[in-house]
Structure 1
Amino acid sequence: MTTISTYTVPVAEGKYPTVFHREFLVEQRADPTYTVQPQSTTIPPPTQSALLLKGVGEKYTLVTDHAIPTISKKDEILVKIQAVGLNPVDWKGPAYNFGIPALPWINGRDLAGTVIQVNDENSRVHVGDKVLVPSTDYRDIRKAAFQEYAVATHFNAARIPSSSDVHASASLGVAFVASVLALGVSLGLDFRGSRCPGPDLQDVLEGLDVEGIPGDIRGECFASVAEGERLRRGDWVAIWGASTTTGYITLQLAKLAGLHVVCVADIARHGARLHQLGADVLVDRQDTERAVDIIRGVTKGKLRYAVDIVGAETAGLLERTLDDTIREDGSHAHLLGLTGLPKERKPGVVYHTVPIKLFHTSPVVGEKMVSWLERLLETGALQLPEIVRHEGGLSSINESLEVLRQGSVSGKRIVVDLGL
């Protein structure tokens, strides 16, 4: 059993104590999956290096005197960032002026590192834990990844088992969140029957106070609550953009839950990997009309569920593969678009987006998801994305984002080592 020397910082009445880790005295907890390396950590310095976006269309600017974010709520933790996973939104947001609440701003959605402060001694994660954090709460600058330290909530942090690489783990978070919410909330898939059992998020939602769910995602959260609308074991689902990280994870979770999966991608480049992950049918994206015909043929014109990860145009192609007749029980076909949907809508199709903010606004949902992710990683049921590791810390992120923008790294995630 691990013994950790800690001390508590005195605080004003009504505040929660902040617990800092001082020294690890042994190498493991009772759970051998999570190893703790002997080390010594002190209170972080008052300032840190960070990447600031100072203007739309500009590159990020490295500063060395930015204040370290402070934890202010009972559920919050402070993470010393070791690795940052890059996402397309990290360059698209500044280029096209979205997802930027104010200027200057700090971006970055995927991080992994070490917990150095907790605000609750009963937190599900502890000082010294290695964690990955999907930073979906982009409006809170404290939680951004492009800095040396970031705030997170314990119910949004997944512990990294010793068998998993920290850098590969930094590539996983946001894609995992999007995949689980797409399948488990928008399309209503029950993960309890998976080979590595997960949550039934629709059942979880029924136990929540509806008023506590943000109004702009409330309809999406309950769009597939009716039993006849829910994706279930044995159904077919088509994924366009299956070679993306989100596609890889969606494929794996779908197969764990017993679905049949059609994957649309550049098969010459990514077919072997998709086949290895369990794809039932591979369809090349190069000839889009042929792709539509193949999907309809394989599913005998009865496809009811489809997920697009590319954009509105390919979502429109997937729409054509669906059986949009309304069944006798009143159920529909379902089309989910992560980055866009067709403008014209068919009455027999329910159109979905991913209610991403549910992950960080609902502690119950968030904890269910990261707890399942921990089990998936512990058991090896979920394979981590392939990564391209870039050295150079925060100062190299502009260059790495340019590589991402050019698309020269396909089917892999760029992860930047912060060298901390």
Structure 2
Amino acid sequence: MATLSTTYTLPAPAQADDKFPAVFHHEFLLEQRADPSSYTPSQTPTTVPPQKSTQSALLLHGAGQQYTLVTDHAIPTISKSDEILVKIQAIGLNPVDWKGPAYNFGIPSLPWINGRDLAGTVVQVNDPSSRVRVGDRVLVPSTDYRDIRKAAFQQYAVATHFNAARIPSSASVQASASLGVAFVASVLALGVSLGLDFSKSERCPGPNLVDVVRGIDVDSIPLDVREQCFAAVPVHERLKGGEWIAIWGASTTTGYITLQLAKLAGLKVICVADIARHGSRLHGLGADVLVDRQDPERAVAVIRGVTGGKLRYAIDIVGSETATLLERTLDGSPREDGSHAHLLGLTGLPKERKPGVVYHTVPIKLFHSSREVGEGMVGWLEGLLASGVLVLPEVVRHAGGLGNVNASLEVLRGGSVSGKRIVVDLGE
């Protein structure tokens, strides 16, 4: 049975559907090629170095405090051949950006810089074989939260080239800054934890991450996510096209993307959300069944009725309380082939476990620790964006740069932008 990887479960209000997207929830203005897949790396590393050695950044000095804007923080430097330097132009805000300081988690030391979703222009490349080059507009899901150089709340950030997705000229920089970590969480949840093969998608085939992971040196995978990475290896346990899957929290950015990727892979999807506010958009993205979250007991009954009590796969994006509700919709009896029901929780799992159900979290570290996995994911994302197959989240743009992040996080915390992403524009 899969075990719980390192995640953080926080108290969530009863109607947290749009306030608490996926675990470790996370920016550009040069002309770029319309088709990112046609890119051929330059043979010599080139660089457009910053004109000075310091930058503006937001520092967190203590739990429960707001971020402090400083103008003399050192610009991060590249230390490895596979790293690049990005000048940030837009930052996508995530609940973890305010929940980390509020609940004192995910802060390795003080002062610290947070921020998970960034987009900008590559200004330095250190390796001639890098998949990106200077001048490329890229979005970067910053999942390596222990490396302060990679945080989004600053003017420049370091990234690895296999974690940067080039933005096609047809896509908005601000909208692109909104989906990085949510995309990573969605792909890893479906493709690694539940074993869904994206290569079978007809419109825009993606990676078969189960096979990719099986080819990786086991010792290179962080120990605390290693078991989860291999949980879907048994063929009879893997999520396959034609199966039903329920998503509780479908109007969050992660749910929004998970729905789209699930439909691309041929799944039948039940979406639990505030249907009055978000039903039209979810229906437009292909949701097979819409279930209102306002009456949780009825939601459980509807899901069981639609699936005849035989539901085998479910993803919760809200918290342990809704994960417990979703658990009740699953059929815990083993199938003839010995396979089980599977419940994945991005922000929490039930305290007590139901017999016959396998529980999963998202091995988020795999994205930045494995070049093979990261490159496969961002390469697919580039294709999804260039082809227009992936519909981007609706964005609320906030001007004011880094100095407006604290106020923007308060708006996010208040929940008035339900079903949308706040993106702070750094200008330039």
When normalised by structure 1's length, the TM-score is 0.91
- Report the counterpart of residue 149 of structure 1 in structure 2: 156
1:41 & 1:219 partners in 2: Cα distance? Answer: 42
Q: Which residue of 1 aligns with 2:341?
A: 333
State the percentage of identical aligned residues. Answer: 80
Aligned to 1:419: 427
Q: CA deviation at 1:327?
A: 1.9
2:112 aligns to what?
A: 105
Q: Distance in 1 between matches of 2:413 and 2:333?
A: 40
Alignment equivalent of 1:292, drawn from 288, 294, 300: 300
* Higher relative contact order, structure no. (Cα contacts within 8 Å, ≥ 6 residues apart): 2
Secondary structure of 2:328's counterpart equals: helix
Within the candidate set 215, 234, 240, 1:226 is matched to 234
Q: Does 1:387 align with 2:399?
A: no
Runs of 4+ in 1 over 6 A off after TM superposition: 32-35
Aligned counterparts of 1:167 and 1:28: Cα–Cα separation in 2? 15
Is 1:321 matched up with 2:329?
A: yes
Paired with 1:323 and 1:28, the residues of 2 have a C-alpha distance of: 49
1:184–1:191 CA contact under 8 A, matched in 2:
yes
What TM-score do you get using the length of structure 2 for normalisation?
A: 0.89
In the TM superposition, residue 44 of structure 1 has moved relative to its aligned partner by 3.6
Query: 1-side partners of 2:181 and 2:212: how far apart?
Result: 20
Distance 1:80 1:145, change over 3 A: same
Query: Which position in structure 2 is the counterpart of 1:397?
Result: 405
TM-superposed CA distance for 1:41, in Å, is 4.8
Distance 1:34 1:412, change over 3 A: farther
CA contact (8 A) 2:32 2:136 kept: no
CA positional deviation for 1:28: 6.0
Given the superposition, is the C-alpha separation of residues 48 and 89 from structure 1 closer, same or farther in structure 2, using an over 3 Å criterion? same
Does the alignment pair 1:277 with 2:292?
A: no
Deviation at 1:90, TM superposition (A): 0.1
Any idea what SS the aligned residue of 1:321 has? coil
Q: Does the CA contact (< 8 Å) of 1:34 and 1:160 recur in 2? A: no
User: d(CA) in 2 for partners of 1:213 and 1:174?
Assistant: 19
Q: 5+ unaligned residues in a row in structure 2: which ranges? A: 1-29, 40-46
**Amino acid in the other structure paired with 1:115:** V
Task: Select 1:244's aligned residue among 252, 272, 276.
Answer: 252
How far the C-alpha of 1:211 sits from its partner, in A, is 1.2
State the shift of 1:31 in Å: 4.8
Tell me how far 1:34 sits from its aligned partner: 8.3
Equivalent residue runs for 1:116-155 within 5 Å = 116-155=123-162
Match of 1:175 in 2: 182
Tell me the distance in 1 between the aligned counterparts of 2:195 and 2:332.
Answer: 18
- 1:210-269 Cα offsets, whole Å, 9 max, x none, are 111111111101111111100000000000000000000000000000000000000000
Partner of 1:11: none
Displacement of 1:288 after TM fit? 0.4
How far 1:370 moved relative to its partner? 0.1
The total of aligned residue pairs comes to 391
Mapped to 1, the partners of 2:113 and 2:416 lie a distance apart of: 25
Name 1:307's counterpart in structure 2.
315
In 2, distance between residues paired with 1:30 and 1:321? 44
- The two structures, once aligned, show a CA RMSD in angstroms of 1.5
Deviations 1:83-136 (A, max 9, x none): 000000000000000000000000000000000000101110000000000000
Task: Give the aligned residue type for 1:124.
Answer: R
Letter in 1 for 2:178: S
> Does the Cα contact within 8 Å between 2:37 and 2:382 map onto a contact in 1?
no
Matched, 1:235 2:225: no
Query: What corresponds to 1:20 in structure 2?
Result: none
Instruction: For structure 1, list consecutive stretches of 5 or more residues without a partner in the other structure.
Output: 1-23
1:281-340 deviations in Å (ceiling 9; x for gaps): 000000000000000000111100000000000000000000010123221100000000
1:48 partner letter: Q
